[in-house]
Amino acid sequence: MEAVSIKANLPARPAYKASKYIVPNQQVPCEMIQRPRPLVAGNWKMNGTRSSSHSWAKYMSRLAATKVLGCDIAVSPPAPLLDLVARALGATTTIALCGQDCAPQDKGAHTGDISAAMLAEVGCRYVLVGHSERRNSHGETSTLVKAKASMALAYGLIPIICVGETQAERDAGRAISVVRAQISRSLPERTTELDVVIAYEPVWAIGTGRVPLPAEICEMHDSIRELLIRRMNKRADVIPLLYGGSVGAMNAEEIMSLQNVDGALVGGASLKDEEFWGICVTCDNLKSDSSGNMK
């Protein structure tokens, strides 16, 4: 059977909106700069049942239908639950589906793997690649992550490329260089500013309740933005840079109010529908004005 590109069937990406962006500590607004459209993505990892997924999706779709947010929302259930969640969210939902991983090959003898084509066919807009649980537990290298991201792009999916340093790397003062190297090696050559999201997730912050200091997040996100601009020029201003690692209702506002933090990748807290919706509303309040323009 030939691999068929089903890009045309994917839901359209929301348009980016420009807005005047005032650089903190500067007196005057700088010229019109494109701001990324913020994104809050929930990663359920290997959690969820048919019943819990159904009620989560019904809760979220009800709220998303009554309040249109100026940020995108995505959810990443385990693969066997994707179709159920898609159906429960409904055809007109604004909540996007996201795969948790995809294979670097497009089909064939790869038992246990899931192809980008399959994710696209079930209605995914995004796919996580390079999550630290895959880099560390499955020995995935940035070269492999790049191959997976390339396959995602080939099927019209937006890869959310996850990067982050370990505690030992941070302690050794290597956090920035490790993350920059991961990004440089994981980004496919043909990536444009419209088809990629980067998630900075320090390994030591995932599922631990520990988060970096605001200054450490800012330093890392500024460095990532600088690297992307160096590689793709000014257009990289619109690439959403998500922070992930123990984000919850208690710290979402502090984290997402930081400059160059364009949303969050949320693990454990995304399983709790009410808390996840609250994080999405916080993102909307912080990042978009009443007309839906990016702040």
Question: Which position among 131, 165, 193, 221 bears the catalytic label?
Answer: 131
Name the residue type at position 116.
A
| Of positions 104, 123, 212, 267, contacts ligand PEP by CB under 6 A | 267
**Neighbour tally for 48: CB within 10 Å:** 18
207 binds ligand PEP (CB under 6 A): yes
265 binds ligand PEP (CB under 6 A): yes
Q: Which single residue is written with the structure tokens 């460095």?
A: 223
The angle subtended at Cα 9 by Cα 11 and Cα 149, nearest 5°, is 75
C-alpha distances (whole Å) from 265 to each of 89, 109, 172, 211 are 20, 31, 26, 13
CB of 283 to ligand PEP, least distance (A): 15
Q: Specify whether 201 is catalytic.
A: yes
How far from the centroid of its chain's Cα atoms is residue 11's Cα? Answer: 17
246 binds ligand PEP (CB under 6 A): yes
CA distance 123 to 9: 8
CA distance 28 to 34: 17
Q: Specify whether 31 is catalytic.
A: no
Q: Which single residue is written with the structure tokens 């990536």?
A: 191
255 binds ligand PEP (CB under 6 A): no
**Pick 159 or 268: Cβ nearer ligand PEP:** 268
CB of 107 to ligand PEP, least distance (A): 28
CB of 244 to ligand PEP, least distance (A): 4
| Of positions 179, 268, 276, 282, contacts ligand PEP by CB under 6 A | 268
244 binds ligand PEP (CB under 6 A): yes
CB of 132 to ligand PEP, least distance (A): 8
Task: Write each residue from 39 to 58 as x if it is in contact with ligand PEP (CB under 6 A), else as -, in one continuous string.
Answer: ----x-x-------------
Of the candidate spans 140-148, 231-239, 251-259, 262-270, the one that interacts with ligand PEP by CB under 6 A turns out to be: 262-270
- CA quadruple 168, 172, 175, 180: dihedral sign: negative
Contact status, residue 295 vs residue 37, Cβ threshold 8 Å: no
Which element (helix H / strand E) includes 276? helix 273-287
CB of 212 to ligand PEP, least distance (A): 12
Contact status, residue 223 vs residue 180, Cβ threshold 8 Å: yes
202 binds ligand PEP (CB under 6 A): no
Q: Which residue(s) pair with 242 in the sheet?
A: 199
Size of the site for ligand PEP (CB under 6 A): 14
**Pick 90 or 207: Cβ nearer ligand PEP:** 207
Question: Which residue minimizes CB distance to ligand PEP?
Answer: 267
245 binds ligand PEP (CB under 6 A): yes
Contact status, residue 103 vs residue 114, Cβ threshold 8 Å: yes
Question: Which position among 133, 140, 169, 201 bears the catalytic label?
Answer: 201
CA distance 259 to 287: 10
**Pick 156 or 268: Cβ nearer ligand PEP:** 268
**Pick 69 or 252: Cβ nearer ligand PEP:** 252
Beta-strand pair 124-129/158-163: parallel
Phi/psi class of residue 180: alpha, beta or left (left: φ > 0; alpha: ψ in -120 to 50)? alpha
Catalytic residue numbers, as ranges:
131, 201
Contacts to ligand PEP by CB under 6 A:
43, 45, 201, 206-207, 244-247, 265-269
